[in-house]
Amino acid sequence: MKNFSNIVAFQGVWFASVLGAAHGYPWIGAVALLPFLLWQLGSSSDPGYDLRALLVMGAAGLAIDSIYPILGSLSYSSPWPSSGFAPAWLVVMWLNLALTMNHSLRWLRRRYLLAALFGSTGGALSYWAGARLGAMQLHWPTSTIIPLIGLIWAVALPATYRALERPERT
d(CA 107, CA 115): 9
The Cα-based distances of 144 to 13, 109, 149, 169 in angstroms read: 28, 29, 9, 44
CB-CB neighbours of 39 under 10 Å: 14
Q: Is the bond leading into 69 cis (omega within 30 degrees of zero)?
A: no
d(CA 132, CA 77): 12
Task: Give, rounded to a whole angstrom, the gap between the first and last alpha carbons of the chain.
Answer: 37
pTM of the model: 0.94
d(CA 82, CA 69): 10
Local confidence pLDDT in tens for the 170 residues of the chain = 789 999 999 999 999 999 999 999 999 999 999 999 999 999 999 999 999 999 999 999 999 999 999 999 999 998 888 888 899 999 999 999 999 999 999 999 999 999 999 999 999 999 999 999 999 999 999 999 999 999 999 999 999 999 999 765 54
